[in-house]
Amino acid sequence: MNVNQLIDELPSVDSYRRYGKINRVVGLLIESKGPSASVGDVCLIHIKSGRKKIMAEVVGFKDENILLMPYTSVAQISPGCLVEATDKPLEVKVNEELIGQVCDSLGRPVSGMTFTKPVDSVATNQEPPDPMKRPRISEPIELGIRSINGLLTVGKGQRIGIFAGSGVGKSTLMGMIARNTSADLNVIALIGERGREVKEFLEKDLGQEGVKRSIVIVATSDQPALMRIKGALVATSIAEYFRAKGKNVLLMMDSLTRVAMSQREIGLAVGEPPTTKGYPPSVFALLPKLLERTGTNAFGTITAFYTVLVDGDDLDEPISDTARGILDGHIVLDRALAQKGQYPAVNLLKSVSRVMNEICSPDHLKAALKFRSVLSQYSESEDLINIGAYKQGSSAAIDEAIHFQPKVLAYLRQSEKLNVNLQDAVNQLIHDFGQEMTSNGI
């Protein structure tokens, strides 16, 4: 744009700054008389005691007042504080220098790193890609985990839920995927995590090599609900930025449940009625809008993994049920399997990849079906076998399941540091389960 064009646009530039005044604070919510602003816009609250400004977002209206929710605590806010409108929603600054950095909920590197190259400003609230312009998923992605590569094959651009209770190994599983994936880069959002677990995940689960190819967004459990939601939106926006540049991005979010809980806090604070188990309607509006932003588009792909906390291992609670209906598959981590020493504790019979049939060879699918069949048969007969009530020869199907059980366990178990590529996982599956068992059990 040249100087003459800038001069021509000067008459249309809005040079006014609009202010309002705070008249009420109730819990997490701030009521302000003015300024003129739209839902989703960022406002700056001027603290009387100094030059500090607190960022807040417009979340609703009540009579002639606007309702704000701050990105930090409300501790220093007092009646009469000025509220300045910015007339724009939250944006995050992104370029390739962000790779290898740990950032806060607003996408700012916690190391204090400053950009040395030009940056792009990306809006955190964006629309999902046009469904008619989404390419179909046609190619598998490497994850480095034998049981997932072979039996729950994930495609580039697929969205998967990891459903697990607390302490079943989902952070370890995420770290293994992040270290071993063939994606161009990882974007990892830690939403609502304990402060102690953040560094533990970075150093133990992700490791130095994993950090170098990742952008990590951290919003710990002590931060306001709005900051936790913004962490999820910022991570998704960063992934979308690199997808638009033709990259194959791996997005991992731990956890989707805490994003939903954060939206519940906001919804109840602004007066929404609680519906299903205390969750207001805005929660069930937010989830599909957030999840549909990932996947494929005309430029690249975002393969997404979302962890979902299941209270008491109940897979039918509202958030789990909603997420399972939106996502392209789910991986269930079973506490009973973890207690038996099977890691990763993937319950194959409760897990499914909805695009596996589209991206795998017929031999691969046949062997995977055989694996599921013998695993299911053994699970149904396990009690009889363990107490010695089953006699060999009574059932050919049970005999076959017993024959294959050592190979089944060997295939499902994998040490944390081991990387099993997709081709090796498929070859082993076809070799061990692709042939029919003969009458003599060989």
Domain map (residue ranges) of the chain: 18-89, 92-359, 363-434
What CA–CA distance (Å, rounded) separates 245 from 410? 40
Secondary structure class of 92 (helix, strand, coil): strand
The helix or strand, by DSSP H or E, that contains position 304, with its residue range, turns out to be strand 301-309
Give me the mean pLDDT over the 30-36 stretch: 90
pLDDT-derived band of residue 385, with 50, 70 and 90 as boundaries? confident
Domain 18-89 of CATH type 2.40.10.170: yes
Taking every pair of Cα atoms in the chain, the longest distance, rounded to a whole number of angstroms, is 92
pLDDT at 436: 59
| b/e burial code for range 138-153 (CB count within 10 A of at least 16 → b) | eebbbbbbbbbbbbbb
Asked if 146 and 165 touch (Cβ cutoff 8 Å), the reply is no
Tell me: pLDDT of 47 over 80: yes
Q: At which residue do the structure tokens 């900051």 appear?
A: 227
**Distance of alpha carbon 29 from alpha carbon 388, whole angstroms:** 64
- pLDDT of residue 84 exceeding 70, the answer is yes
Query: Which residues contact residue 202 at a Cβ distance below 8 angstroms, ignoring those fewer than 6 apart?
Result: 102, 211, 216
Model confidence pLDDT, tens digit, residues 293-315: 999 999 999 999 999 998 766 67
Give the contacts of 298 (CB within 8 A, at least 6 positions apart): 129, 133, 135
Domain 18-89 identical in fold to domain 363-434? no
Residues 364 and 421: their CA atoms lie apart, in Å, by 15
Q: Is pTM, for the whole model, over 0.85?
A: yes
Range 73-98 average pLDDT: 89
DSSP secondary structure code for residue 436 in this structure: P
**CATH fold of the domain at 92-359:** Rossmann fold (3.40.50)
- Band (pLDDT 50/70/90 cuts) for residue 438 is very low
What CA–CA distance (Å, rounded) separates 376 from 347? Answer: 11
Beta bridge partners of 248: 301
CB atoms within 10 A of CB 162: 26
Cβ–Cβ < 8 Å for 308, 162 = yes
Nearest C-alpha neighbor of 93 from the set 221, 234, 299, 201 = 234
Strand partners, 94: 120
pLDDT greater than 70 at residue 12: no
How far is Cα 290 from Cα 176, in angstroms, rounded to an integer?
25
pLDDT at 377: 94
Nearest to 309 by CA among 262, 348, 254: 254
Mean pLDDT highest for which of 4-13, 262-271, 367-376, 392-401? 367-376
| H/E segment holding residue 344 | none
Q: Which helix (H) or strand (E) holds 82?
A: strand 82-89
432 class by beta-carbon count within 10 Å (0-12 exposed, 13-18 middle, 19+ buried): middle
The pLDDT of residue 99:
95
Name the CATH topology of 363-434.
Substrate Binding Domain Of Dnak; Chain:A; Domain 2 (1.20.1270)
- Determine the Cα–Cα distance for residues 414 and 408; give it in Å rounded to an integer: 12
8 Å CB contact between 149 and 143: yes
| Integer angstrom CA distances of residue 395 from 5, 367, 372, 380, 438 | 84, 21, 18, 13, 14
The pLDDT value recorded for residue 6 is 62
Question: What whole-number percentage of the chain has pLDDT above 90?
Answer: 67
Q: How confident is the model at residue 386 (pLDDT cuts 50, 70, 90)?
A: confident
